[in-house]
Structure 1
Amino acid sequence: MATMKKSIRIAAPLGEVRRALTDPAALQVWLAEHAEVSLPDRYQFWGRFTPDGKAPHQHLKHSDDNSLRFDWELDGVTTAVEIGLIAESGSTLLTLTQTEVPGWPEMLTTPGDRSLMHTYWALVLANLADYAEGREPLALCDFTSAVLRHEVLIDADRLAVYESLTEPEQFSRWSGVMVEAELKPGGRWAMGGFEANPHPARIIDIQPGHSMSIDWGEMVQTWELADSEGRTQLTFVHSGFDEAKPPYDGWLGALSGLAELRRYHEIKNWRPIAVETQLEGLPDGLLTSN
């Protein structure tokens, strides 16, 4: 097992970010269904938006104005989570680490909640950034449901959103993930590029300006765009999977990507929130943000 590290930049003062991290009411907006905080003794969250969320499994170890550290038991293993905050000019650099999580590519094949942590925190931190900046968080993943469907309004022209979802250079820019694609039915959709990905997903349907479906092998990802009073409604669905084992890892990653896509189109002078991601075994060149 390995230690994962994620750093993001939030366009909000450190005090506002810390309040979002420690106010139970705020946590129930961007993190979890239930949260109880009583510093320096307790920091717990649980519910349907938390892996293994029937009861809280966090134990606070340390808190101060710039950091939180807690143990989180997952799959019967104690993982250590640390969140650090550094004030910058008009923004806050947040760094999160978690121990005892699978590296790459083990996280893709190892069962259990620890394999979700890479994409779980990607979504959670995207929600935190939106909340601290005064924006509505995009979504939370319901780990009690096999329905993987989300709708989001993006304040941008439909064709502009379509191009950002299909044009590889634009897609790589906002998503932070290298991609190469053949935009036709049967065409390859290769995360990491054609050379690095010998078994890519396949485009099974594409309607220019409106929709695309991609077959990832164990599930099909479909998105559709519609005009909505000057904005674009994006409907995003994962289907065709074994409902006894919903692919929450991919769904979490997709939702975190949608959060960045919305920011890309709506925030003036946009820049990605991701600063650095470290995960043992992660292929060189897969992430463009590192």
Structure 2
Amino acid sequence: MASDALSRAAHHGAAPSPRPTTPLRLLALDIDGTLIDSAKQIMPFTQQEVARVAATGVHPVIVTARAINASLIIERKLGVAASHIAFGGGTVHVRTGSGLTVLEEHPFERSDVALMLDAANGADVHIGVYTATEWHVSDLGFWGLREARNTSIWPDSVGDGSPLRAPADAVFKLMFRGLPEALAPIKETIDRELPGAFAHLSARVLEVTTSRKHGALRALSDHLGIAPHEVIAFGDTEADVPMLEAAGVGVLMGNADPALRVAPHVERTLSNDEEGVGLSLRKHFPTDAPFRI
């Protein structure tokens, strides 16, 4: 409930941040746990507010660990043209009119993909391997179906029971799903052998990418001629924290883990099930339009 989110904010000692003295020109939106609710839908008021803010000339960018094709589905549902930072920063696409231009791509080395797959060999985990355009899975059991439902993407190939191998095309993300005790040793190996990779473990999901969101967002904003203090960014997990802390206005969702620590200047809003993004946009981009929620 809203009162719960406010109580969590009070518990963390959060205080209202002053409005920036310069206009905000770039809107960065994480997807899961932020832009979409727990039913994987964009709430009506949030959709309305994003569209309203974009219509003023603010540049929206969807920032996600999802694949670019899954990010594009969210853009269509949102109904607002946006740039895209996908694979947790592994690719950066700039929206120019009706088209997208690739600004940066950071795939894994093929040997690194093989190392990670070998680390998972024999473990009771589901494995997903993502190229720029394809998704390869070890099996279509519970976890494969769960991810397909979450992202509206169907896998391009399904394993035959033998160890999954790296595809021919460049890989931008690996995802392992299973119990924490099965995922932890895989993460330990990746952290030890591939210190340049970002392995994010949360609950029963381990996502591994080559890059971080905040670095990709800085590259995009530099390309657009937008300074960091002109950025407003929303997120809900450890993977989002550097992006929120680097933005002129960083906003942590009310559904974030209460143990997650962020810099004092990062604001807190309501949860993704309570129109947290939309309400903060109304706060930072005032309007005389009626408030209906």
TM over 0.5: no
**TM-score interval for Structure 1 and Structure 2 normalised by the shorter chain:** under 0.3
Structure with the bigger RCO (C-alpha within 8 Å, sep 6+) is: 2
Q: Which has the higher strand share?
A: 1
* TM-score (norm: length of structure 1): 0.27
- Select the structure that is richer in helix: 2
